[in-house]
Amino acid sequence: MKFAVIVFPGSNCDIDMYHAIKDELGEEVEYVWHDTESLEEYDGILLPGGFSYGDYLRSGAIARFSRVMQEVVKAANDGKPVLGVCNGFQILLESGLLPGAMRRNESLSFICKPVQLKVENNQTMFTGEYELGQTITIPVAHGEGNYYCDKDTLARLKANNQIVFTYEQNPNGSLENIAGIINEKGNVLGMMPHPERAVDELLGSADGLKMFQSIVKTWREAHVVKA
């Protein structure tokens, strides 16, 4: 499986994402610059964390208009897995690929620490290797991770089982403890915690590796002809 790590001016978690895919997962991966005009050759799209375009206006608000985002939307519409982490999640929200918005952390402070997440939905291409209700340890690092949506959107998220991860102890004021959501089609996931920073016990946790393994397993089941 071949992954694209989208790099925006100000991305700073792209190397972590690249390492997770190449060295821990053992899959093919390339950095892809924000002005790239085609993502056809890639099977999975990864939007890493950072401060795209300096987080001017709002986090992800300018990156949403990057040329490559037209191709990310196309890839999503084609059913390819798209994962946005931290700033990548914010960009997915700004682009309309996921519903809702991000606000400043309730504390108005930047948060950087390991947190415990509960797996609320393990029937997705991103979470198939987890157990339902499993608690996993994944680090967060953000200043604007306070997820918000209106009542109707929240009702749809719940009805469609689109809330994939919740915080065991809410670090940022996020509505309903939401840490990660998926689109209705099930192929676009956005989350504030960083699974790419939890792919080896040397990093303090390897709980994030199963997310990338889930993507690859689902893709191979769909694309590789069994002998």
Task: Specify whether 149 is catalytic.
Answer: no
Task: Specify whether 194 is catalytic.
Answer: yes
Span 2-223 CATH architecture: 3-Layer(aba) Sandwich (3.40)
**Measured between alpha carbons, how far is 51 from 53 in angstroms, rounded to an integer?**
6
| Active-site pick, 71, 86, 120, 144 | 86
Among 137, 132, 128, residue whose Cα is nearest residue 120 = 132
Task: Specify whether 112 is catalytic.
Answer: no
**Other Cβ atoms closer than 10 A to 133:** 9
What distance lies between CA 120 and its chain's CA centroid? Answer: 15
Contact 49, 86 (CB under 8 A): yes
Q: What is the pTM of this model?
A: 0.96
Query: 126 is written with which tokens?
Result: 């991103």
pLDDT digits (tens, 9 = 90+) for 162-192: 999 999 999 999 999 999 999 999 999 999 9
Measure Cα distances from 178 to 5, 171, 174, 196, 209 in Å. 25, 10, 6, 19, 21
Among 195, 19, 24, residue whose Cα is nearest residue 115 = 195
Q: Fill in the amino acid letter for 127.
A: T
pLDDT digits (tens, 9 = 90+) for 50-103: 999 998 888 999 999 999 999 999 999 999 999 999 999 999 999 999 999 999
